Structure 1
C-alpha cells in the first residue's frame, strides 16, 4: 500500500467555518443523512454543546480523511477520546490516510490525558473493521439502541 508523503500530508483540527466546510464532502460520504446546507450549522452546534471536534488529513491542500471526536469521562473506563465519525475519501482509500488520521487521534488522546480511544462502527462495514483490527483496535462490547418517538407534549 502506498503511504502518504510526510512533506505534503498534514493533520489539523478544523475550527473555522471554512475549515469545517472543507471537510463536508468527505464526511457526507459517511453521513449522507446530514444535508449539505445544514452541515456547518450542525457541526458548530455540536462543537458548542457537546465538545465535538473535527480533524482532517490534508494532502496537497485537499481533505483526504476526516474524523469527528470528543473527549469524555465514563465511570467504567475513565477519560477517553471517543471517535464519532472516521472516514477516508472513497477515491483515496488504501493509501494510508486513514492510518495517518488514526495515529493522530491516538496521539491526541494521549495529549488530552485519555486512557483509551473508543469508537463504534456499523456491523456492515467489514472492510473498515479489517483496517481497525490491523491498527490494534479490538471489539470489546456490543452497542445497543432503540429508536424513541418524540415525547408527547
Structure 2
C-alpha cells in the first residue's frame, strides 16, 4: 500500500475511475484538464492510495483565511465502492491530516453535501466537528 501525489497526466488519469464515483458528471478529458488547471492556478493536489489499484482519492489544497489561519481544505475524498468499509478512506484521511500538520496548517476543513450522512458520520468519527453553514448562489 502506498500514498502518492498525482503529479502527471498519467497519474491523474489513473485516479479518474475512483473520482468519477463521487463526481460522475465529469468526463475523463474534463477531469484531467480541470485537475491540471487547478494544480497550476489554485494549489490543488490530487492524492491517491494505491493497493493493487487505486482505492481512495483526495483532492486537497492549502490556503489561509483571516478567521481560521492556515488550513488544508479537502475538496474531494472518495473510496471506490468495492473498497469501502475496509479502512482505505480512514488511512488516506489520516495521511492528509498528518500532511496538514507537516505543512504547519492550523486546521483541516471540508465541505460535505447535506445529503451525505454516511460521510458526515465518517468525518465526525475522525474528530471533525460541524462549524458553519455553507451558502451558495448559482450564477
The number of aligned residues is: 139
Superposition pairs for residues 36-55 of structure 1, below 5 Å?
Answer: 36-55=28-47
Q: Give the SS at the match of 1:26.
A: helix
TM-score (structure 1 length as normaliser)? 0.89
Alpha-carbon offset, residue 37 of structure 1: 2.1
Match of 2:56 in 1: 65
Measured on the aligned residues, the alpha-carbon RMSD in Å equals 0.7
- Please say which structure displays the higher CA radius of gyration: 1
Larger relative CO (CA 8 A, sep 6+): 1 or 2?
Answer: 1
Alpha-carbon offset, residue 38 of structure 1: 1.6
**CA offsets 1:21-43 (integer angstroms, 9 cap, x no match):** 10000001111121122211111
**CA offsets 1:35-69 (integer angstroms, 9 cap, x no match):** 12221111101100111001001002x00000001
Match of 2:88 in 1: 97
Match of 1:127 in 2: 118
Q: Give the SS at the match of 2:20.
A: helix
Which segments of 5 or more consecutive residues in structure 1 lack a partner in the other structure? 1-8, 149-153
Which segments of 5 or more consecutive residues in structure 2 lack a partner in the other structure? none
Match of 2:12 in 1: 20
Match of 1:81 in 2: 72
Distance 2:5 2:27 in 1: 22
Q: Give the SS at the match of 2:49.
A: strand
Distance 2:31 2:6 in 1: 13
